[in-house]
Structure 1
């Protein structure tokens, strides 16, 4: 039988991997989505939506569906599923690899401020400005809810979950974004500070360029560390090589 690859998806890289694997008749691929986005884009191959019920539930699924390898291609900040995937792979003896696009790096002219969490990011804002462009996604915004003296522009794909800061304007949009478009947003809303997670990738990097051009400070939330003993590859060829699929 063709080897069965489970891709834990939700990222551009997961979509690219599924497309690459489906093109090969000697491989069967299933992409699993958490279901947090109501209208995910079309995916190649089999798709399942919803959680597994923790590491034990994922391990059971791997056994029941004869999975030969797991690729964790979730968002760099999807900590829980990454931990569960590592535990389930160890429990079942299933080969596993983490696919993570490289993080962003500051360049000349950038005014970046490092933060270890959303809470740390929030603590820095009063000293940096009063009008904040918050691009950290729709979850976890409670970390900023107490900042009643600041004004927030919150951008996310879907409506953010409360509680939110009292002075909040929500902008629903999905990348990729252009530098010209991001520059226009920053100017229109008179943004003083940009806050972002270090998601990496090109789709949402334009805001960093626009902030640099306008001389704005950027608070960048660091990625959480990978589970102990887990390493990542940066691209689809790296996944194929790690799973020895490039030689088939």
Structure 2
């Protein structure tokens, strides 16, 4: 059995490719999205109970290898996976798509976390297109002088900025639609998620000459890493 810590497009692609090759795959989803896109193979939803719980699950299910294909900002599960893999001697691969790279016409600013992004925002614009996800929106809740166009997959909970409009949508997104939304804002705030699923907003910002405030990825444990699904498939098959 191969355990894929998923929730991303790459995780679904990996599960599909492995199942097609006759590999038994269990994909683990955190359960934070109400209607997730389910991958091929077996699926479990919910946490493991920290690194100790994950280690116990790996032993009980005789897992041959783990692929951490979670979102670049899913820092806790990445740490738990590394600790559980080390404790059980289970091979671990991190499937991590590369971060976005600025082009010559991009106007990008960087923040180390959402709190720093909130501190930098007042100097970049009064109307904000915020696409950092529904978790962590409280970092912007105190900015009463700014207006936010907030996009999430599922409805966020409080606290939220006083002046805001909520858009519920799921990628992939088209440049034309992103251009229309960004036309209502002065600045785009997002995380450096990488990949093509949500990159249309960066193209739209470039075309409109709008600044982008990106939150850097949190550090991850040092482990073997693949950048593409085919690389991850080869790694698994060699296990």
TM-score bracket, shorter-length normalisation: over 0.9
- Alignment-derived partner of residue 210 in structure 2: 216
- Alignment-derived partner of residue 195 in structure 2: 201
Alignment partner of 1:30: what SS? strand
Shift of 1:61: 0.3
Shift of 1:225: 1.2
Paired residue for 1:57, among 50, 53, 60?
A: 53
Shift of 1:38: 1.1
Shift of 1:240: 2.7
Q: Deviations over 1:56-85 (max 9, x none)?
A: 000000001110000000000000000000
- Alignment-derived partner of residue 229 in structure 2: 236
* 1:12 maps to 2:9: yes
Q: Is the 8 A contact 2:14 2:233 kept in 1?
A: no
Distance 2:210 2:193 in 1: 19
Distance 1:164 1:193 in 2: 18
Paired residue for 1:95, among 76, 91, 103?
A: 91
TM-score, normalization by structure 2: 0.98
- Alignment-derived partner of residue 130 in structure 1: 126
Paired residue for 1:174, among 170, 189, 209?
A: 170
Structure 1 vs Structure 2 CA RMSD: 1.1
Distance 1:161 1:139 in 2: 9
- Alignment-derived partner of residue 151 in structure 2: 155
Ranges in structure 2 where 5+ consecutive residues have no aligned partner = none
TM-score, normalization by structure 1: 0.94
List structure 1 segments (4+ residues) > 6 angstroms apart after TM superposition: none
* 1:225 maps to 2:222: no
Shift of 1:184: 1.1
Q: Deviations over 1:16-44 (max 9, x none)?
A: 0000010112x210000000011111321
Q: Is the 8 A contact 2:92 2:223 kept in 1?
A: no
* 1:192 maps to 2:186: yes
Distance 1:61 1:67 in 2: 8
* 1:143 maps to 2:139: yes
Alignment partner of 2:188: what SS? strand
* 1:48 maps to 2:44: yes
Q: Which deviates more, 41-50 or 5-14?
A: 41-50
Q: Deviations over 1:171-224 (max 9, x none)?
A: 00000001111001112xx20000000001111000001001111110000001
